[in-house]
Structure 1
Amino acid sequence: MKVYSIGFTQKKAESFFGLLRNEEIKSLIDVRLNNISQLAGFAKKNDLIFFLKELCDIDYVHLPELAPTKSILDSYKKGIISWEEYEDKFMNLMVQRKVENIEKNIIKDGCLLCSEHKPHHCHRKLVIEYLNSSWDAEFEVKHLV
C-alpha cells in the first residue's frame, strides 16, 4: 500500500502541485486542525479542492481526527513540551480516537497534508507510523519535499 505525505510550507504553488502531479495519488488527505486560515492561499480548503481537481485530478478529504489538538500543538510550538512528549501525547490521542477505524481505502494511494515542510518533526509521519502498525500494512511511504 502506497502512502505519501507533503507539507505546504516553503513551497510555491507550482512546486507543491508539481510534486503531487508527478505521483500516482488519488486523494489529498488534509490532516490539519485548521484548513481555512493558513498563510499560503493555495493551501486553504476551498482553493485546494479547486486546484487539486483542475491541475492534478486528485480528490480532497479533510480528516481532522488525524490532527493534534490545539493544546498539544501549541504546547509543542511554544517549547513547553519536547518532541518526544508531543509524540507521546499525539500517539495516545490517536489511540483514544481509534483512528485505526478509518477506512483503509481513504489512505491507500493518498497523500497526507499538513503545514510542516519536512516530515521529521511532523504529526503526518506519526499518523503513518501509527496506521502502519495498527493495520500491519507495511506502507510504501514517500515524503514529498
Structure 2
Amino acid sequence: MIETFTIGFTKKSAEDFFGKLQEAGVKRLLDVRLNNSSQLAGFAKRDDLRFFLKELADIEYEHVPELAPTKEILDAYKKHGGDWNVYEREFMELMAKRAIEKQLPYELVQSACLLCSEHSPEHCHRRLVVEYLDKHWNGVSATHIT
C-alpha cells in the first residue's frame, strides 16, 4: 500500500501550512499545479516554496506538471463556470492519455504530499490523481490535510 498526503495552500497561513506538513511527517512535496509561480500564491510560489520547505521542514520539493490539468480543462472549469463532473471526466481522460501510472515511480509518491491551491480536496484534481493511481496501482491511500 502506498500512503500519501494531499494539501491545498489557500486558507492557511505559512505557519499553519508548514506545521501541518511537518506534523504529518511529509518528506517530499509534489507540486501538481499548472501555474506554480503565480503572484497570488504568496509563500507557495515555486522558488520561495522550495526554499521554505527545505529550510523550515527539511522537505524535498518537486514540480510534477504531468499531474496538472491542461490550461483548457482548467479554464473551462474555473474561468467559464464549467461543470465539475465534466472537469473530472476530462481530467481522468487526460491522466489515462498521459499514462501517468507508467510514468511515475512508486517511490516518488510514497510518503509524499500532493500540493494544489484548493483548500479542500472535494473539487480538486489532487484527489483525482490519488484516485486514478489507486485504480491503476491497486493500493494508494491519501490523507487529505486541511
TM-score (norm. length: structure 2): 0.95
Structure 2, gaps ≥5 residues long: none
Distance 1:99 1:36 in 2: 23
Structure 1 counterpart of 2:107: 105
Give yes or no for the alignment of 1:93 onto 2:94: yes
Question: Is the 2:4–2:141 Cα contact (8 Å) retained in structure 1?
Answer: yes
Sequence identity (%): 56
Counterpart mapping for 1:65-144 below 5 A: 65-101=66-102, 102-137=104-139, 139-144=140-145
Greater alpha carbon shift after TM alignment, 70-79 vs 12-21: 70-79
Q: Which residue of 2 aligns with 1:54?
A: 55
Amino acid at match of 2:86: E
What is residue 33 of structure 1 aligned with on the other side? 34
Counterpart-to-counterpart distance in 2, 1:21 and 1:13: 12
Which structure 1 segments of 5+ residues have no match?
none
Residue deviations 1:49-71 (CA, integer Å, cap 9, x gap): 11101111110011001000011
> In 1, distance between residues paired with 2:42 and 2:81?
30
Q: Provide the rounded CA distance (Å) in 2 between the counterparts of 1:126 and 1:65.
A: 13
The alignment partner of 1:106 has SS state of helix
RMSD between aligned alpha carbons? Answer: 1.0
Question: How far did residue 112 of structure 1 move?
Answer: 0.2
How far off its partner does 1:140 sit?
A: 3.1
- CA offsets per residue over residues 13-61 of structure 1, 9 Å max, x none? 0000011010121100000011111413210111111110111111001
Q: Which residue of 1 aligns with 2:14?
A: 13
Distance (Å, rounded) in 2 between the aligned partners of 1:38 and 1:131: 31
Number of residue-to-residue matches in the alignment: 144
AA of the residue aligned to 2:34: L
Q: In structure 2, how many angstroms separate the alpha carbons of the residues matched to 1:10 and 1:39?
A: 12
CA offset at residue 2 of structure 1?
A: 1.2
Amino acid in structure 1 at the alignment position of 2:115: L
Runs (4+) off by over 6 Å: none
Q: 1:38 to 1:5 in 2, by over 3 A?
A: farther
